[in-house]
Structure 1
Amino acid sequence: MPINVSKELPASDSLKLEKIFVMDEDRARTQDIRPLNILILNLMPEKEKTELQLLRLLGNTPLQVNISFLRTKSHRSKHVSRHHLENFYTTFEHVKNRRYDGLIITGAPIEHLDFQDVNYWNELTEIMDWASDNVTSTLHICWGAQAALYHHYGIEKFAMPKKSFGIFKHQISDPTVKLVRGFDEIFHAPHSRYTNISKEAVENNADLTLLSVSEEDAPFIIMSNDAKNIMITGHLEYDATTLAEEYRRDIGRGVEIDIPVNYFPDNDVNQRPPNIWRSHSHLLFSNWLNYYVYQQTPFEWE
């Protein structure tokens, strides 16, 4: 079934070329079913790339999904046009009186900052608090996951000696949990971050369940016991070439950085890396939409 987005959104054409089922608003209004309403708070600088990555995953389920994009009012992105933001994004003041079936909060390349030093931190915490009462389930990605763990559960992030950068193996702790239903016991996922969270802090929090750890013994998939908050510390949504683009960007800026581990064939940066995490990316988003949004959200919000 399709995702419902504006037919003017640039990602729409790319999705159609990839045979992702996209429905425009006019056709969606003629269907006598209740679509899911998903809000995406996109904190990534290159917003159009992130839009395409997330829509590709949200469009691969038997559910009709209405997508709305949210941006922070207190921060002006430098890597996307004002025209794009004004046409396809809204701000919190325009959605705070609505209810949504699901919310996605993306990562952001600001992990070197203390949370309180982020210029939109107060706005973000207001959104996260609002989501607790007005969203059925929220999916937090990378820095967004660390922000949620700190704000809701008091778990601090800490700096690592060097960047966790590459494709890592992960293990599932309980394959019977619906979020990871169908996962292999060992699967791969991309990471790109300078900070981490304590595995012990997650395990010792009575409100959280640790579902997956990386081969570095770092928490990867974390879920609150009420399933209102799901935290993914890596980037399952990444394209095959995203880490390569980040690597070349950092090299061009003079940043000392290692080649992403387990990524380029034969560690040859001139070879195109294969995507070996795509199936689990689709599976995680599909499980989240089905079991924690569609199966839980009311048909009519009171």
Structure 2
Amino acid sequence: MPIRIPDALPAVDVLRSENIFVMPESKAMHQDIRPLKVLILNLMPKKIETETQLMRLLSNTPLQVDVELVRVDARASKNTPKEHLDEFYQDFDRVKSQKWDGFIITGAPLGTVPFEDVYYWDKFVEIVEWSKHNVTSTLFLCWAAQAALNVIYGLKKQSHEQKHSGVFEHQTFNQQHPLVRGFDDFFQAPLSRYAKFCPEQIAAQTDLNIFANSAEAGVYLAATTDCRQVYITGHPEYDFDTLHDEYVRDQNEGLAPKLPINYYPNDDETQTPRASWRSHGNLLYSNWLNYCVYQQTPYDLDQLGRTE
């Protein structure tokens, strides 16, 4: 949230020089405030688990946020009760006539599947194109980040032979930017993906700013200059045991997964893993909501996209 202080206070110029958002009293007195409208397209198999994780992060801010859950269609889910989907989810086609402050598109367990073989690929493309003109800022997570890079920039799918699973160290860049305000120089973040995110390729073939990168796992956080599109290639929303559950799942499916990196104490899978990324995840979502959504979105959402 912005700090509200008297217009003439000397601290105003100092704080602004440090790229801290200051709202003078004269502006605050005339500011209209309303709840933010955030749409979540949940593509993960365990939808209840994922929606809970995301809403936990979205709630860590003084801003009032109205959340709407959507799916690509009414197709049955193997991991989520039909009753839950019918009660709490809408099909995308029922909300696309509206404007939204923020939009989150989750990952999906499709790392080894060619884009054109994803049954809802055409719908996904439609949704990404729709978001450009109907959403103030869209957050793409993991598989959705790779897929959106293909839709928007034409980046071809690149994959590792083995899944990058575990907790990886990332370096922060451009720390004066609001999206990474308060980040440490290096931070931990959980990854669970086959996708490659090569910094050289992204720098050469897109107009994105790279804000975090892992020497071992590639780009973690990137965004357009106006933050209309933000790409996160990992899962800051994960609970402490989510990577464990995925590891056990892959074992049961006969995939012979490698032990998640830097995850279990002493690399002993019988020990309880500890989350080392919660503070980073909360800060990232708070920064996104505040600086990329709240500070940028028009009060009247019907005005969104009219100048484009």
TM-score normalised by L of structure 1? 0.87
Query: What residue is the counterpart of 1:266 in the other structure?
Result: 266
Higher mean displacement: 211-220 or 87-96: 211-220
Give 3-state SS (helix, strand or coil) of 1:170's partner.
strand
Q: Tell me the CA shift for residue 122 of structure 1.
A: 0.7
For each residue in 1:126-181, what CA deviation from the matched residue of structure 2 results, as whole angstroms up to 9, or x when unmatched?
11111110100000000010011110111122121211111000001210111100
Query: What residue is the counterpart of 1:225 in the other structure?
Result: 225
Percent identity between the two aligned chains: 48
**Structure 1, gaps ≥5 residues long:** 2-31
Give 3-state SS (helix, strand or coil) of 1:204's partner.
helix
Supply the distance in 1 between the matched residues of 2:284 and 2:72 (Cα, whole angstroms): 26
Query: What residue is the counterpart of 1:80 in the other structure?
Result: 80
Give 3-state SS (helix, strand or coil) of 2:297's partner.
coil
Q: Tell me the CA shift for residue 268 of structure 1.
A: 1.1
Query: What residue is the counterpart of 1:254 in the other structure?
Result: 254
2:148 corresponds to 1:140: no
Contact 2:101 2:301 in 1 (8 A): no
Supply the distance in 2 between the matched residues of 1:262 and 1:217 (Cα, whole angstroms): 13
Amino acid paired to 1:253: E
Query: What residue is the counterpart of 1:36 in the other structure?
Result: 36
Give 3-state SS (helix, strand or coil) of 1:37's partner.
strand
Query: What residue is the counterpart of 1:237 in the other structure?
Result: 237
Number of residue-to-residue matches in the alignment = 272
Query: What residue is the counterpart of 2:156 in the other structure?
Result: 156
Contact 2:196 2:217 in 1 (8 A): no
Query: What residue is the counterpart of 1:298 in the other structure?
Result: 298
Q: Tell me the CA shift for residue 67 of structure 1.
A: 0.4
For each residue in 1:165-212, what CA deviation from the matched residue of structure 2 results, as whole angstroms up to 9, or x when unmatched?
110000012101111000000000001111213221111135211111
Query: What residue is the counterpart of 2:179 in the other structure?
Result: 179
Supply the distance in 2 between the matched residues of 1:206 and 1:164 (Cα, whole angstroms): 23
For each residue in 1:243-265, what CA deviation from the matched residue of structure 2 results, as whole angstroms up to 9, or x when unmatched?
11111111122221111110000
Query: What residue is the counterpart of 1:114 in the other structure?
Result: 114
Supply the distance in 1 between the matched residues of 2:38 and 2:231 (Cα, whole angstroms): 17
**Structure 2, gaps ≥5 residues long:** 2-31, 303-308
For each residue in 1:43-94, what CA deviation from the matched residue of structure 2 results, as whole angstroms up to 9, or x when unmatched?
0000000011000000000100000001011743221111111100001211
Higher mean displacement: 48-57 or 243-252: 243-252
Q: Which has the larger radius of gyration?
A: 2
Query: What residue is the counterpart of 1:17 in the other structure?
Result: none
Supply the distance in 2 between the matched residues of 1:74 and 1:150 (Cα, whole angstroms): 25
Contact 1:157 1:197 in 2 (8 A): no
Query: What residue is the counterpart of 2:306 in the other structure?
Result: none
Query: What residue is the counterpart of 1:10 in the other structure?
Result: none
Query: What residue is the counterpart of 1:50 in the other structure?
Result: 50
Q: Tell me the CA shift for residue 96 of structure 1.
A: 1.1
Query: What residue is the counterpart of 1:202 in the other structure?
Result: 202
Contact 1:157 1:198 in 2 (8 A): no
Q: 1:261 to 1:206 in 2, by over 3 A?
A: closer
Query: What residue is the counterpart of 1:91 in the other structure?
Result: 91
Q: Tell me the CA shift for residue 111 of structure 1.
A: 1.6
Supply the distance in 1 between the matched residues of 2:143 and 2:262 (Cα, whole angstroms): 22
Q: 1:209 to 1:75 in 2, by over 3 A?
A: farther
Q: CA RMSD in A?
A: 1.4
Q: 1:246 to 1:233 in 2, by over 3 A?
A: same
Amino acid paired to 1:141: L
Amino acid paired to 2:209: T
Contact 1:74 1:123 in 2 (8 A): no
Structure 1 stretches of at least 4 aligned residues deviating more than 6 Å after TM superposition: none
Supply the distance in 2 between the matched residues of 1:217 and 1:233 (Cα, whole angstroms): 10
Query: What residue is the counterpart of 1:7 in the other structure?
Result: none
Query: What residue is the counterpart of 1:279 in the other structure?
Result: 279
Give 3-state SS (helix, strand or coil) of 2:167's partner.
strand
Higher mean displacement: 145-154 or 280-289: 145-154
